[in-house]
Amino acid sequence: QVQLVQSGAEVKKPGASVKVSCKASGYTFTSYGMSWVRQAPGQGLEWMGWISVYNGNTNYAQKLQGRVTMTTDTSTSTAYMELRSLRSDDTAVYYCARRAVAGFFDYWGQGTLVTVSS
Amino acid sequence: EIVLTQSPGTLSLSPGERATLSCRASQSVSSSYLAWYQQKPGQAPRLLIYGASSRATGIPDRFSGSGSGTDLTLIISRLEPEDFAVYYCQQYGSSPWTFGQGTKVEIK
């Protein structure tokens, strides 16, 4: 069965970076894209971007351009999302989500809480 | 950017009742690229509907989606206790892919 297992919670200081991992299993990793979505406390879902696992192409939300990098390691079927220059409003649960060929997000990781606090 | 506006913000209903959730887009979206997700407290979202009207694997048939252009609807024909949650619409046809702000379906 398809599973996306994310790394554990992180606490970071403002200005630091965080790298969240998402290990996939149960399907051919290179056949699907991977999106990242975040959710601030008590708020809705915000799409951050996605990466084509097949060729490494990325598409980032404009508001995060320059601060976010999405990568994959096909040898371990793991996707990564790095966010730099963290601010307090980056405090959120970060989700990876498999992007189906048609574009919707059919499987989600369990989420990783990133807390940015001095 | 396509803005999705969901209504109502909160829907208070009893088990067994019918729930109708709306999602309006700021510009036309192909129905092929519209989805609905369910999220329960402390859990990741779960895909319910894609392509505006196709149920995802394992989703019961009391959930149905319809609509095209700028108006999308999710109907839960008879609410079960496990259906009380927050529901989000999403468009994935035009970057940036966007979500609505959510509709909370709560027990009356």
CA distance B30 to chain A (A): 12
* pLDDT at residue A1 greater than cutoff 90: yes
Chains A, B: CB contacts under 8 A, how many?
Answer: 57
- List chain B pLDDT tens, one digit each, 108 residues: 999 999 999 999 999 999 999 999 999 988 789 999 999 999 999 999 999 999 999 999 999 999 988 999 999 999 999 999 999 999 998 889 999 999 999 999
Q: What pLDDT was estimated at residue A78?
A: 98
DSSP output for chain A: --EEEEPPPEEE-TT--EEEEEEEESS-GGGSEEEEEEE-TT---EEEEEEETTT--EEE-GGGTTTEEEEEETTTTEEEEEE-S--GGG-EEEEEEEE-TTS-EEEE---EEEEE--
Contacts of A42 (CB under 8 A, 6+ apart): none
Q: How many angstroms separate the CA atoms of B102 and B91, rounded? A: 13
Over residues B29-53, the pLDDT tens digits come to: 887 899 999 999 999 999 999 999 9
Query: What does the pLDDT read at residue B85?
Result: 97
3-state secondary structure of A75: coil
Cβ pair B45:A95 closer than 8 A: yes
**What chain B residue is nearest to A93 in terms of C-alpha separation?**
B44
Interface test with B, best of A3, A22, A46, A105 (most B CBs within 10 A): A105
Q: In this predicted model, what pLDDT tens digit does every residue of A50-109 receive, in sequence order?
A: 999 999 999 999 999 999 999 999 999 999 999 999 999 999 999 999 999 889 999 999
Most A CBs within 10 Å, among B29, B30, B46, B97, to test the A interface? B97
Q: pLDDT at position B31, please?
A: 72
* Residue among A62, A106, A110 minimizing CB distance to B47: A106
- The pLDDT score that the predictor gives to residue B39 is 98
Going A52 to A34 to B51 to B91, the CA torsion angle's sign is negative
- pLDDT at residue number A27: 97
Query: According to the model, what pLDDT value does residue B92 have?
Result: 93
Beta carbons of A102 and B50 less than 8 Å apart:
yes
Q: How far away is chain A from the Cα of B97, in angstroms, using its nearest Cα?
A: 6
pLDDT computed for residue B95 by the predictor? 87
Which residue from B minimizes the CA distance to A63? B96
Chain B from 76 to 105: CB within 8 A of any A CB: 88, 90, 92-93, 95-102
CA–CA separation, B92 vs B51, rounded Å? 10
